[in-house]
């Protein structure tokens, strides 16, 4: 779990220019490669945040719109911030059917605060990209009194451990930094840590944390596309790694079963002290 925490800290401290283009090489596959967020968690978050069809949501780091579309279907007015220009183009296309969704090509740090304008602030696998000294206070400032923070999470999809053990040899050869297996217990601890950080910030209260075990089955091609969105690789390393992984995976069949924890954290804005 320590490796995961170090990775999160590295992303939050990454300079803004690098973050703007981090996913550009895989922007075209990200929307279809990443697993969907479970509908039951989205429905529960909407109920817990007391959002009706007239509600307004600020989404930070919307990417190509993986979670945006799911929330837009409720009829909410959404302002969605995304620093990556390629993602913005995809998000605009994916949200064409929802006229109340506005995509803004900017970072949360640079976004001009609209204080107390939103019923909820949403982050879908994006909270760890924002520096801690900014994300809590600015998110709270953007909310109406008694507004809600909604954090959606899909943790790393992983094959069965016996499959991972076979793949580990390839990772060690070409991408040793990828050698990490979490499993459900470690992922549960990661999620527990996220929830505690929300409460420790002092900006939010009444945390509700929900999680569910998720499973997906990918073709080998689609699984390799997913991997390309999870970690950044140099082209030559990627070619060698993926060829080795494909060779190992084909011994198990033409598909890969993956499991991971999905979760949502919902917390109410705390009163401003002083």
3-state DSSP call for residue 121?
strand
Instruction: Indicate whether 121 belongs to any domain.
Output: yes
pTM of the model: 0.91
pLDDT digits (tens, 9 = 90+) for 73-98: 999 999 999 999 999 999 999 999 99
Amino acid 87: pLDDT: 94
pLDDT digits (tens, 9 = 90+) for 118-150: 999 999 999 988 988 899 999 999 999 999 999
Amino acid 14: pLDDT: 58
The enclosing domain of 120 has a CATH number of 3.40.50.150
Instruction: Indicate whether 100 belongs to any domain.
Output: yes
Q: How many CA atoms lie within 13 A of 41 on its CB side?
A: 23
pLDDT digits (tens, 9 = 90+) for 215-228: 999 999 999 999 99
Instruction: Give the domain extent around 48.
Output: 2-155+183-214+261-269
**Residue 238, CA distances (Å) to 62, 145, 168, 173 in order:** 26, 48, 15, 12
Sorted by sequence, the CB contacts under 8 Å of residue 109 that are 6+ apart come out as 16, 130, 131, 134
What does DSSP assign to residue 198?
Answer: H
3-state DSSP call for residue 128?
helix
Instruction: Indicate whether 78 belongs to any domain.
Output: yes
Contact between 190 and 197 under an 8 Å Cβ cutoff? The reply is no
Instruction: Indicate whether 194 belongs to any domain.
Output: yes
If you average pLDDT over every residue of the chain, what do you get?
Answer: 92
3-state DSSP call for residue 266?
strand
Instruction: Indicate whether 82 belongs to any domain.
Output: yes
Instruction: Indicate whether 146 belongs to any domain.
Output: yes
Amino acid 23: pLDDT: 75
Instruction: Indicate whether 125 belongs to any domain.
Output: yes
Number of domains in the chain: 1
Instruction: Indicate whether 165 belongs to any domain.
Output: no
Q: How far is CA 267 from the centre of its chain?
A: 17
> What mean pLDDT is predicted for residues 262-271?
97
Please work out, in degrees rounded to the nearest 5, the angle formed at the alpha carbon of residue 45 by the alpha carbons of 4 and 96. Answer: 90
Q: What is the largest CA-CA distance in the chain?
A: 63
> Is residue 1's pLDDT more than 50?
no
């Amino acid at each position: 779990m320590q490796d995961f925490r170090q990775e999160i800290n590295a992303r939050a401290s990454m300079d803004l220019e690098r973050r703007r283009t981090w996913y550009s090489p895989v922007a075209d596959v990200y929307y279809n490669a990443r697993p969907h967020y479970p509908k039951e968690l989205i429905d529960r978050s909407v109920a817990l945040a007391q959002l009706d069809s007239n509600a307004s949501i600020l989404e930070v780091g919307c990417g190509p719109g993986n979670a945006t579309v799911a929330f837009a279907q409720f009829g909410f007015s959404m302002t969605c911030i995304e620093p990556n220009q390629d993602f913005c183009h995809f998000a605009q296309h994916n949200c064409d059917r929802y006229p109340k969704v506005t995509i803004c090509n900017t970072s949360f740090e640079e976004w001009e605060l609209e204080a107390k304008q939103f019923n909820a602030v949403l982050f879908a696998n994006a909270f760890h990209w924002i520096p801690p000294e900014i994300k809590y206070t600015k998110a709270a400032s953007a909310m109406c009194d008694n507004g809600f923070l909604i954090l959606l999470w899909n943790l790393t999809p992983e094959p069965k451990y016996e499959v991972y053990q076979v793949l580990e040899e390839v990772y060690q050869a070409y991408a040793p930094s990828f050698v990490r297996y979490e499993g459900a217990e470690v992922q549960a601890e990661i999620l527990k840590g996220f929830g505690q950080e929300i409460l420790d910030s002092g900006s939010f209260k009444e945390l509700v944390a929900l999680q569910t075990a998720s499973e997906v089955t990918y073709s080998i091609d689609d699984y390799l596309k997913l991997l390309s969105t999870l970690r950044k690789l140099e082209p030559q390393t990627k070619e060698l790694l993926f060829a080795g992984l494909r060779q190992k995976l084909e011994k198990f069949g033409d598909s890969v079963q993956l499991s991971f924890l999905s979760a949502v954290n919902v917390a109410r804005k705390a009163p401003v002290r002083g």
